[in-house]
Amino acid sequence: MSYSHAIYCQQIGLKTLGFDPGPADGLDGQKTKAALYDSLVSRFGSKTEARRSDGSRPPRPKGTAADKSRIFGAAGSPSMALFVPPYEMTYFGAKVSKIGCHALIAKPLEDALKEIADKGEEWIKKHGLDLYAGCFNHRKSRSGNALSDHSWAIAIDLNQDANGNKHTWRSGAKADNGTYEMPPVAIKIFKKHGFQVGFLQSDGTRRDMMHIAYVDRP
């Protein structure tokens, strides 16, 4: 192991943050590695999130208002970012020129939609993934009194007619609007980028599969 000035600076930084990397000797030993890992866990809230983090994603909040506000700021006034959707989308018939969401999730959301775009227009239309139904909306959740993820602009809705909140998700089923319900391939893509799709019910079924949220929930 030889001296690295980057490691030396990291050790000084870790000490400043209150973690103990051992002596600042510029050597990437066990104590330095452990201190770096502890600082990641402290920043990202859990070991899972720390392992997953590449620095481009914010930590995922638990489903509580307190945790969402801890990471994303107060509900109702999120710091927004805009990006051009990577494939053609409509919002209740009108073409979507920009998607607006919380600035911290813009990158992972855009990355997920780019992967959806790679599946091709035919597949996207078949599943109604071009039917955008909004992101920021300061309101209570449809299922209860708590504020919705939309109040922090950390969720989008896609194809709401086929994936409603009172509707039990049936993978592969065709909905009344002629599209198919949320496909497992799309769910997998969103998940990979930190998003969870729909809500798990106590009987093991899922609902509200239009709802794609940057929240750590089952």
Q: Which residues of the shown chain bind Zn ion in the complex (CB under 5 A)?
A: 155, 157, 211
**Minimum distance from residue 211 beta carbon to Zn ion (Å):** 4
CA distances from residue 18 to 38, 71, 79, 113, 157 in whole angstroms, order as listed: 10, 21, 29, 39, 41
- Our CB check for Zn ion shows the closer of 49 and 157 to be 157
Residue nearest to Zn ion (CB): 211
- Our CB check for Zn ion shows the closer of 3 and 91 to be 91
**Minimum distance from residue 40 beta carbon to Zn ion (Å):** 30
**Minimum distance from residue 47 beta carbon to Zn ion (Å):** 29
- Our CB check for Zn ion shows the closer of 55 and 218 to be 218
The C-alpha atoms of residue 183 and residue 160 are separated, in whole angstroms, by 14
**Minimum distance from residue 32 beta carbon to Zn ion (Å):** 43
- Our CB check for Zn ion shows the closer of 7 and 133 to be 133
- Closest to 190 (Cα-Cα) out of 108, 121, 129: 108
